[in-house]
Amino acid sequence: MSQAALVVESGDPFMSSNVVVEMLKQLRALDTYDTYEGWSEEKIIDPLVMTKERKREIPIIGDPDETTLARVKSYYNAIASLIEQQSGLMAVPVINITHEGFGRAFVLVGKLIVVDKTLRDVHRFGFPTLEEMCLKTEQVVEKAVGLIDTYRAVAEA
């Protein structure tokens, strides 16, 4: 995938959303080699925006690389963190991905599974736009917090 031009532009209103701010924290946390040192926030979050043009450049069948796996982990870590912020209870992401890019992602709060996502084609992980990433993530978090409110005893167990 060529990275000639960034899709996420400076001044994008979604760069200040809770989802993107948390994603940036999580991406930097998993950057043990300081790859992102000196990079703008837009450049760090940009690979998560998978436009149609970018998807065309990636083969339909392929194995995810370590960088892509780190992005997936960061995404579910961010979801867990946002759930923690809203519910006040510890949320734990559990991710299992095969070398072929298939698997599942869960977020657990106590003994309650609040997020359950089947993962396919992880090597093409991303969202069409930054706005869509924020909206979908907010929906997942809202649903999870709703489950926690409904089954509070299980979540606190």
Q: Is the pLDDT of residue 27 over 70?
A: yes
Give how many domains the chain has, as a whole number: 1
pLDDT given at position 1: 43
Residue 37, in any domain of the structure: yes
Residue 3, in any domain of the structure: no
Residue 5, in any domain of the structure: no
pLDDT given at position 6: 84
The CATH number given to whatever domain includes residue 125 is 1.10.3100.20
Q: Is the pLDDT of residue 4 over 80?
A: no
Domain coverage including residue 77: 13-156
Q: What is the distance of C-alpha 74 from the center of its chain?
A: 5
State pLDDT tens for residues 62-77. Answer: 889 999 999 999 999 9
pTM for the model: 0.91
What SS3 string covers the chain? CCCCCCCCCCCCHHHHCHHHHHHHHHHHHCCCCCCCCCCCHHHHHHHHECCHHHHHHCCCCCCCCHHHHHHHHHHHHHHHHHHHHHHCCCEEEEEEECCCCCEEEEEEECCEEEEEEEECCHHHCCECCHHHHHHHHHHHHHHHHHHHHHCHHHHHC
Mean pLDDT, rounded, of the chain: 92
pLDDT given at position 73: 96
Residue 73, in any domain of the structure: yes
Percent of the chain scoring above 90 in pLDDT: 76
Residue 7, in any domain of the structure: no
Tokens of 9: 């532009």
Residue 47, in any domain of the structure: yes
